[in-house]
Chains A and B, each alone.
Chain A
Amino acid sequence: MTALGKLVRTTAFRLTLAYALLFAVISAGVLGYVAWNGRQLVEQGMRETVDAEVNGLIDQFRAGGIRRLVATVEQRTRRPGSSLYLVTTFVGEALAGNVARLPTSVLTSAGENPDTPYERLDDPDDVTHHAYVRVFLLPGGFRLVVGRDLGELNGLGQAVKRAFLLALAMLTALGLIGGFFVARRVLARIDSMTESANAIMAGALTTRLPLAGSNDELDRLAASLNAMLDRIGDLLAGLKEVSDNIAHDLKTPLTRLRSGAEEALRLAKNPQDYRQALERTIEESDKLISVFNALLMIARAEGGRAAENMVQFDAAEIARSVVELYEPLAEEAGVSLSVEAPGSLQAHGNRELAGQALANLVDNALKYASREEPELPGAMAKVQVSARSNGDGTTEVSVADHGPGIPEADRERVLERFVRLEGSRTRPGFGLGLSLANAVMRLHGGSLKLEDNHPGLRATLCFPPPFAGAAR
């Protein structure tokens, strides 16, 4: 597309053109009205003048007969800018006046003729003029014709027409020029935005759209787009971190898998050894698969696709059954795991996911509570699970331990995938438990709260009131 074509296609240019056209139509209307009114006025005046002349001349005729009339007409025709006069006999022979020729049809009947062609006596070229004439029959067959030339009137019409055409031309020119400049300005800014967008698409991800600082609609649009780009940038950075972490954290078990297989090839002496190596390989790959399953589950919970399976479930029952599930494990680890929950606690959500979120929290608590030195020698590490309903309809299930806890600065970060705090790297796990619990709670329209348990960690699953949850 040519530059001009592009310009003409802009909204700004088209709007300007449309306005120019609108103004032209309006001014044509106004001028036309003024011209019509003026013409009416002039015609009215003309008619009155002619009437007055006719009356004066008839008075002269009555007072002094045809001679006096002829004399008066001759006298009047000599005045500059005089009206038109003609006095004829009953056969049409001219006696006096400044009209050379009139159509005979006009002469034969008395009355008004608004637009009559005629020739003037004092005009050498026999040019046909137009006039408004009145014909009057006098006693004795004489005819009196009085009229006014229409040249003046038509001149006025011409002037109005010229004024209108000039105005139209100026409006169009100004409209075109104005449209051109406005459109070029808009186009220049749009072009610079397009250029920035292209640069971003080409890979310069930190580029932002230019702002003119005028805070007009284009600026506001650019600012919104920039905010959007920032948000996308943040998400991308998060995604990149996650995939970096995935790559890093999965490399370790894969390496272990590979070296195990290699070792077996090198050292195995009998089928029994091979068998053991293969079994270890399967165990390791099962762990990897479960990591991928957890990742998928987090992704799907974050995608909010389990929402359709929300039902009423008993949060107290979940607390009890998860504790019951982990109780032998806790006992083996030397941790006292207890539960405090009312008989029944209705919440809205997905029992499976809520159960898994709670299981992850309990699993974590057992892992960390058990291996710290108890505060009092001989005392057992404790993990307390409690479920309760708040006055505002929310339901909370919390897991409290007296382990090392999570420093306040890290509480946001540990919810991300694969984030494990320093010192926990030596413990089993992949750093997905809290991420999953968090994703599950977000899916429920609730939240996962991490608080200080003085000492230790209190992790709480907060379910929203049933209807707030159902509305999601």
Chain B
Amino acid sequence: MKILVVEDDRDAAAYVQKALREEGHVVDQAFDGLDGYALAREGSYDVLIVDRMLPKLDGLSLVRSLREQDVHTPVLFLSALGQVDDRVKGLRAGGDDYLTKPYAFSELLARIEVLARRRGVGPAREETVYQVGDLELDRLSRRVTRAGQTLDLQPREFRLLEYMMRHAGQVVTRTMLLENVWDYHFDPQTNVIDVHVSRLRGKIDKGFDRPLLQTVRGAGYVIRDGAR
């Protein structure tokens, strides 16, 4: 993936660049809003990581200008401001996701991978049936089967599984699940999400020899067909 990091804090930028390169991504850097804007317009990036507070041109204006210029590269905002309305402002300006500093690198990585993938799959190509191994989820009939057996899921469990299967093979973090399945953006302080996931795991993996839903320590969860 080709990623542009627009961040004026050089230490933080260097850390992100190094970590992303270790993950096999190509990373460019810009240290102020104007450079970031120029690079983002010309380069064909898969994802932009943009700090809210930037010299010369702030992050919100940068993204707003890009969107006006018909540049629709997915944008993840980074911000030290962690309030709900900041998040809303960021998304309104054309951002696709929002992460508050300090963040775990695994969280950043999980989010940009989901963002980049979303770009490839337009709404038109949204599939109606997700499949991972022998697990199948039909979004229209809302039926879930594993190896032909119908699984009985609660509505929320269905949405949880739907989200994870849409991003099959990608790590999804607890906060991503809370945001996308429950539409809440706070830190629940307790392991509520883990309990939901382990319940879901009990329903889809119990009794099958190949577990599909796996825990990624220190990051979150991933659903994938391990044999593949």
Contacts and interface: CB of A to CB of B under 8 A. Distances in A.
Contacts of B85: 305-306, 308-309, 350
Interface stretch (A123-131, A288-296, A372-380): A288-296
A183 to B, nearest CB: 53
B151 to A, nearest CB: 17
B18 to A, nearest CB: 17
Given A306-B84, A308-B85, A324 B156 contact: yes
Summarize B's interface: helix, strand, loop or mixed. Answer: loop
A320 to B, nearest CB: 11
A332 B195 contact: yes
A293 B84 CA distance: 12
Contact of B189 (A279, A309, A352, A363): A363
Interface stretch (B6-14, B121-129, B180-188, B206-214): B180-188
Contact of A359 (B100, B156, B188, B191): B188
B199 interface: yes
A374 to B, nearest CB: 22
B204 to A, nearest CB: 15
B195 A353 contact: no
Contacts of A433: 189
Contacts of A273: none
B82 interface: yes
Contact of A353 (B84, B100, B183, B188): B84
Among the interface residues B156, B187, B189, B195, which one has the most CB atoms of the partner chain A within 10 A? B189
Nearest to A328: B195
A356 interface: yes
B102 A328 contact: no
B52 to A, nearest CB: 15
A352 B192 contact: no
B196 interface: yes
A360 B191 CA distance: 13
B218 interface: yes
Interface in B170-194: 182-192
Interface string B63-91: 00000000000000000001111001000
A325 B84 contact: no
How many B residues touch the partner, as a band? 20 to 34
A219 B76 CA distance: 59
A300 to B, nearest CB: 5
B228 interface: no
B40 to A, nearest CB: 28
Interface in A270-308: 279, 282-283, 286, 289-290, 293-294, 296-297, 300, 305-306, 308
Nearest to A288: B102
A359 B186 contact: yes
B192 A297 contact: no
B104 interface: yes
A286 B189 CA distance: 10
Contacts of A293: 82, 100, 187
Given A305-B85, A309-B85, A325-B182, A279 B102 contact: no
Given A305-B83, A325-B192, A279 B218 contact: yes
A71 interface: no
A111 to B, nearest CB: 98
A472 to B, nearest CB: 15
A329 interface: yes
A352 B195 contact: no
A32 interface: no
Contact of B218 (A282, A308, A328, A329): A282
A349 to B, nearest CB: 11
Interface in A335-356: 350, 352-353, 355-356
A5 B88 CA distance: 60
Given A290-B187, A355-B186, A282 B104 contact: yes
B88 A309 contact: yes
B103 to A, nearest CB: 9
A297 B185 CA distance: 12
A256 to B, nearest CB: 17
B187 A350 contact: no
A328 B199 contact: yes
A309 B186 contact: no
**Nearest 4 Cβ contacts at the A-B interface:** A356-B186, A328-B195, A309-B85, A352-B84
17 contacts: A279-B217, A282-B104, A282-B218, A293-B82, A297-B82, A305-B83, A309-B84, A309-B88, A321-B182, A321-B184, A324-B156, A325-B184, A325-B192, A326-B192, A329-B192, A352-B185, A352-B186
Given A309-B88, A332-B195, 6 more contacts: A279-B218, A296-B83, A328-B196, A329-B191, A352-B184, A360-B189
Interface of A: 279, 282-283, 286, 289-290, 293-294, 296-297, 300, 305-306, 308-309, 321, 324-326, 328-329, 332, 350, 352-353, 355-356, 359-360, 363, 428-429, 433
